[in-house]
Structure 1
Amino acid sequence: MRKIIKLLIIDDDRDDYTVIRDLLAGVHHRRYDVDWAPSANHALDLMHRKAYDVCLVDFYLTGTTAVEFIQLASQRGIGVPVIVLTGQDDETAELASQKAGAVEFLPKDDLTWRLLDRSIRYVIETADTVAQLRDANRFPQSILDSISTQIAIISESGKIDCVNRAWTDSAAANGMADQDWNGVDYLAVCDKAAAGDETAAEIAQAIRDVLDLRWTSFAAEYPCHSAGEQRWFRVSITRFQHLQSCWAVVVHDNITDRKLAEELARGAGSVPICVDASNFLVERYAANAPR
């Protein structure tokens, strides 16, 4: 645990701030560098100029609440862990604070220097653990983002667990720049599109077949033309096991250059092409028998 903790107390009652500051002065094994903000706006200004380890926020601030303050801080990209303090032991306020993202909720009447120090240590350790987990998850995400093909990881329920940058870039180019793909029911998306799209229907069924262990993998080539451009893609779906669950990797690879070259070669008559380039070409692999 760090020896100096940078703390911001947000309370419109200066006397309450003084009491909390004096309580923390009783902690002898570490030092608290304490600042005070009498309002949410003042606090946000301070937080833009200085990094804090923890914020202690009075639930009922003049003109706002701790819940609204946490939401404002989040909107501005400020992710400091929060302990909410209150003069009333209010279960509704506690639940609202927890839902907003507060890590602790403490009645002011119960405060001692030991309780405050222990709660602050707990909040910092929790934030550090979350940061470590986030960093651990960044590495595989960075690997996915380095791949130029569009990749989505689909859970056993058919929902998207994560996508790579190529996927989000492609979505943005097609008018879905603000789409949050995490948790999206990809099977439902394909089913909805299947009404007028044979490709979407085939892909949805293929994902189900792979997740249900009827096939180990699936691949297909399909056209996806726009008004001003001819495009072809190859989709591949591969199954893998993780944490006793079945998952699928869905990859969409732009093969337009190859298809145009085939069209050009076929037009020149120099290379025999067996299948029309606009056909939906399907390959299924069942190397492993279904369970």
Structure 2
Amino acid sequence: MNFFNKLKEGLTKTRQNLTQRVGALLSGSSRLDDDFFDELEEILVTADVGARTSMELVDRIRRQVKERKLSEPAAVGDLLQEEVAGILGEEIPRLGWSPTPPTVILVVGVNGAGKTTTIGKLAYRFQQEGKKVVLAAADTFRAAAGEQLAIWAERAGAGLIRHQAGADPAAVVYDAIQSARNRRADVILVDTAGRLQTKTNLMEELKKIHRVIERELPGAPHEVLLVLDATTGQNALSQAKLFSEATGVTGIALTKLDGTAKGGVILAIAAEMGIPVKLVGLGEGLDDLKDFQPRDFAAALFSGLAGEKGE
């Protein structure tokens, strides 16, 4: 199954929440008046696009309707897809890589978002591409995190550096960098803790890890990847703000997109944070972590809109 079809299938719940309701609005409206635009905004908000982004999106559509002298509600479907594609950007965002190995990818996010699984799938992908991978188990707060990472390391054929539970996470990262140098590894994937209950300590810990990486490898980390669970909707946006302040997030991996009606949060993140979504999780399989393709996302999200209008 190609990316577009996989994405379309994965967005089924989000489409039902958003596109079907937009389709009903288009087919049930006779004119483009204030009531129409108010209802469109409400649909976007309830699909977790977010109040601010929804308002800006509807304002842009209003302007386009006026500029193009449109009068038929049916025309708004195409406009909406155009504007969504515009928010997400034209280019396919890529992971950052160092010109000389090793590349360091620091992976952050709250517990339960899918950090360890995302790291495992990335490790598998990189190994399949012929890259040598080292995993750093820097979430020393949870003993289970190191054990999970060890399972993924074995599955992916990657090296693993871990210390005992409660050890200094920055020391784990330091050792992982030395190990990567010795092994001539191409990439280091760093798992980190995500306990928001003690967020001040957590953010200080992340900053320390960041400093150690930068000291040992100037210019690193080359990617700070924030893993967000799509099913948390608007809560994902507040997490993005929090982690971005502490670690300078450069990209987002959005997991569990196939199990939520809240996929619209991608738009809020792109519009309000300016952080590109680089990876999307569309299933449980080893190869179900895909590069995010903005145009395909917009097309998949609104596919079927025309059909629904005609029903």
TM superposition score normalised by structure 2: 0.28
The one of the two structures with greater contact order (alpha-carbon pairs below 8 A, sep at least 6) is 2
Point out the structure with the larger helix share: 2
Point out the structure with the larger strand share: 1
TM superposition score normalised by structure 1: 0.29
In our comparison, the structure showing a higher alpha carbon Rg is: 1
